[in-house]
Structure 1
């Protein structure tokens, strides 16, 4: 079964997605839509497919099975609605929407039209993260006691850019912080308590945010996101048996476990031999390929949501971010 894709919007993430899509067997890019025909034509010249100068034309193409929504956060609901009402399945970039109320409406629309819907959370589909989750659940890496994850980079962009424009959903929490929150959710379970502090711009955009959390079985977490500074992009999990380290944790190339073993003396413990956490399958491309594969797998099985990125999980993380934004005083225009 070949899954035929249409891409809605032609920004940077859409281009990276298209490159990974080309690496997936049984997936084909058949169309791309933009508000400007010239932009769609340039995209199609590079990646293939029919170019459309409107999103309405894209979703009307009978050759398209699934629409990948790659527009700014604030436009996701409108664009997903367009695709769902046209009878298309939808993979929508993260965050699914600006808040949980809008996300619940998107989930409702998908059910009403009997279409598949998934948030494009590549971390939840990544083979290395899936392997880590399974090994933590087995208990072999010990009991997690503390998690730290940070993701940030300096944003140098004009005020009208989606990264800094409040009307388009600009937010370090929504752009970067969603990854530490999702990572913690995947490996620790649903948060029992979350608290945040943030540094806001004059427009009440959270440039930097720090979150502390309590998770099941007494595990604690510290998580940061930044649009003003360069973080390590790493995550670590301290367990009662050792330490887990992940570089570029939201799409890791390498995850290791360092056990701590008894040395000479009553209170001496030393790091033992490092163990590689092998992914459940080889990592393809930049990591987007695995969410593309998951969509194809779900459609072939007749599913309307993914077991790896279920609607309940997406709504839980959005509900957390709604609460954290309220704690730090971030409100989007019209909300």
Structure 2
């Protein structure tokens, strides 16, 4: 593949804006094309982020021969159809989290990408942030012993609007898929899949979870207590207790942030001095994988994505949430 990677973006909302802003800082990268069902929105977005081409039809972007990889930033409910169509057009895909609406969709997406030998990755950007890689390196080193417990939350007060994505069941709304995925991701990447899940939720009148409480239970009494909410602002921090230390990811733990380690009565805090919003790290990783001819990430594999999707499904089953 050529050295410069031409990106396309489908779905031009808030996340797409953040991604496009960060993409401008990635070397040998160009935001080449954008697409929205609202043609005027596509034109405005392309002018704002210096994209060369704008489309009012998604399929036109998928068929553009100059596009190397497509970032899908639409509501969750569209991820499956759009990813499948992109893969059928031979386009590499970075699909925003959650990857799909359920494990069945996710398996089909992965199966098609692997059979067609097309790169596919879930956009779980936290995995590629320096502070998170630092955390995982420390835990894997065993320097502070085994993990004994995890606490992580993500909550903010969202104004109820039955038509907006967050509360709209037809668009995959609810706190679990939108933000609960981050505490679950943290528990999974540190401790793996649990032996058992306990979960409860409070529901909005549209039938989606407005708040979700989760407990992941592991061998030897290890557990992860996780929480997501659209009803109240929470600290949005993560605390990992190990045998010889406590590691804190400061607010907001899923974004570029500080990491503190408390051991032997002393606390040391590391600042990673990230100068962007952080989305550039996952984009740079995708570029690296494409240039190396890889079909999936060596840091966040499609098997990882399937595991995470399975955990989300288990929690949904526990709380009685069906889409």
Which residue does 2:307 correspond to in 1? 316
User: When the two structures are aligned, how many residues end up with a matched partner?
Assistant: 319
Pairs within 5 Å for 1:14-93:
14-49=16-51, 50-93=53-96
Query: In the alignment, does 2:120 pair up with 1:117?
Result: yes
Which residue does 1:267 correspond to in 2? none
Which residue of 246, 260, 267 corresponds with 1:256? Answer: 260
Indicate the SS of the match to 2:266. coil
Deviation of 1:115 (Å): 0.6
1-structure distance, mates of 2:268, 2:191: 20
Pairs within 5 Å for 1:1-335:
1-49=3-51, 50-215=53-218, 218-247=221-250, 248-260=252-264, 272-277=265-270, 283=274, 285-332=276-323
2-structure distance, mates of 1:28, 1:177: 32
Q: Give RMSD over aligned pairs.
A: 1.4
1-structure distance, mates of 2:122, 2:274: 20
Give the TM-score, by structure 1 length.
Answer: 0.92
For the 8 Å contact 2:130–2:256, the answer to whether it is kept is: no
Summarize deviations over 1:8-35 as a string: whole Å, max 9, x none. 0110000000000001111110000000
2-structure distance, mates of 1:206, 1:157: 12
Deviation of 1:241 (Å): 1.2
Deviation of 1:171 (Å): 1.5
CA gap 1:60/1:284 in 2 versus in 1, 3 angstroms: farther
Deviation of 1:85 (Å): 1.2
2-structure distance, mates of 1:97, 1:330: 15
2-structure distance, mates of 1:52, 1:122: 26
For the 8 Å contact 2:167–2:204, the answer to whether it is kept is: no
Deviation of 1:121 (Å): 0.1
Larger radius of gyration: 1
Q: 5+ residue gaps in structure 2? A: none
Deviation of 1:218 (Å): 4.1
2-structure distance, mates of 1:256, 1:6: 37
For the 8 Å contact 1:243–1:258, the answer to whether it is kept is: yes
Deviation of 1:287 (Å): 1.4
Summarize deviations over 1:290-315 as a string: whole Å, max 9, x none. 11011011111111110111111111
Indicate the SS of the match to 1:118. strand
1-structure distance, mates of 2:49, 2:149: 43
